A and B are shown apart, each in its own frame.
Chain A
């Protein structure tokens, strides 16, 4: 769609403040009287705390407060409260290197740091376990007071895979592994808490989901929800890392209450790498069967996810990957078994793609292996198994719109698949992978709805209050574009107000590629409501009928048969509404997902997703036989957008995600030494730089969506979902080396090339 605004390449509304350094982030925040907090963390992966002595720290000049488990509510907490397993501070034992043990607040950061070093903790080390499959054995040390280290299990099943495999012409089986990787937001996790004497706790932080974090803070501190307020500033990246409350929030809050001053706690980069949670590492045993014509008949998987020391988003991640597993292709017989397993490592959490990049890597690499067995081109096997618009899948999902075949077509064409596939020269090759992802978040809260408010001021400015959480992806710009489009305004006339739970309507936050879809739909409903009121006002003012009024260029214009054209500016119109009609223009609009009341996530798990977006990525690689370096020459990312709201922002989302995918595939890995993260800086934890960026050809396929605003689908995560598989498949095409484990390091490639 191309409107006056929608579909255009419009710069972000926050880009000038960001380009001039005036945009304020939470790390920039300084409040009057603010002091600095620091957390003492466990140096051991698994140990009993024998004793704790804070007296020397308390005696240090400049220290304002020292707190331990004795000073905070000690009820257990987790994102899913029914899996609660973590207290604010460890009192009896620590379970990973980084576990919170105590905290101080001091007049400056240096003093806080010194005070932390003065706290004496006597530990009794316990045997620790770092690998999931080792943690599942009978004699593994138990991390929690449970019968085993398996923290959660889920099974999804339909059809009869066992029988179906019998009748398949070709079956392949394999084990695939993906590593734990860090989000590496450029702004570290940090917060400022101010608990004032009237009993109000305000926390400034970089939260992706302020309203649910507000609930989490109230829950863990055992205080009324109404006492808590979360305020966001501009946010230096999220990618899933800032969905669930970090313990520094309640810790800063208690320090603030004790001292009567605002308290800031900010991770160091090393602390961020060691404690800010990672992507769930997946070990996947996958089996796929097909007929000799290439049609997929059955697929099973057993996923073992590395939980780290405590629960976070594991169950939801496993559930979500089961849905994508069942909907990528219409496979009639499926079994999915997933579990999260405790290890003595930092916690895992959501990370762009939410379990789907891991599983798509395994399934799409295995699909190539299957295609090879059948003697079929990898593009062809994907084409014949691709879903089509309107299709009802055997798992129960319906895909009303589906552009997968167009994606495959353009991705193959733009990488010159026919010329380059199987060329077998110079260790060069091409690879392909498909994916499906939610285009609208998830429904597992049982609630997927939000509101927004609009007011029109007598200067012609239209302000919208939206809960859309801006973490860099561009949702505030999208919301402003929707308002401008509907009300015939330029972008400068629209103001977006957000970022404060006292101000904004309840919303679940920015995750699951849901912001444009959910918040955008609410903005659209609100803008259309405002349009009706504005037009009615203009009709009164211009003495005509509403149907003759149009809104354009900041004016209400009346055009009708046999009447002279008349117009009035938005500002004058708003003033007229205030002064003459005693009815200032302000409206509310909402969007609510029609979640079936009898929906049971267990039996109808695929209905968790409201809308799907499909994509195909292809790439070309060249492998250096002397260094093992995989040089990525080009990526084609063909993604279904439904309707492209803003081409420039959409491209940016996909380009950035592809690069994160390249990091996930070729470079990024946490190196541990007895549970301690060794590569806890950007020098040793390799992030893609300007040098690793290949040409990225983004193709946006507009297929529409029956539920999205203007037919848009969410695209925030999709860009890295198929990236690893496309790369691994290209590596196979280039070298004959079948990769089943990420990251694909130079060392691995060099050894594999030598063994060949």
Chain B
């Protein structure tokens, strides 16, 4: 939770109205999640919102000057690191750079579906299959029972149960189709617990089921470390090892502290990575920092940041004693 570590930064004059720091506030965020937090949390969220609003103005200005779909040009969505400069027109290159910079700063919520679909490569994936692919896939899976569908049915009511739409019959039917559809598309993954949270969030952002499905597909097949969700979760093991190395390098004190306590950080970090932080961060905050073009890098830096915040919050002393009794 983005709590008091942010307080100092956001303690501007107008917020001094909120002097009672323990006061709990409840409000609905952009994606209809009920958020409960203290005044500091609200301040952070307001700050994030304000930044996104400012970004929105930049996006609109660009749309006005370059046209609504300026970033949808074919080469733009290329995720490969090497772009042959000679094969690109200068304007396309500028657009690419502009887009990268803009995404780093956050995408306005209304544009998220379009931008995510394009930048992630999901649109490209979608364009290689017949238009009826999704509908046919869903029709083919109707009435079929597999271990995956059984587990999915078990998890549907347990996926953000407090969310009004996800808790409705309609929402659960949508989520079910996306997850079941994907379990048939990739039988090696089938269904892995955790994907329910990812898919649910994608549904809320992308608005249409089919787009959510393709976002899920591109994430699992192209963006994230491969085999994160397959039978042995081997990709997830790799991520955890990398994360541990990064932690030792970037936050040596935290790493040493955890080591001294004999605490394996993957015990908590596994959930962060497998659910793409959707279980551990408020959705609106999450959206504005999750950049799907660099999702993985982002995950690592997010996880590091989470631990850093925790260190500040709990103030681990330099040589934290770890007495047994």
Q: Is B a genuine binding partner of A?
A: no
Chain A residues in the interface with B (C-beta under 8 A): none
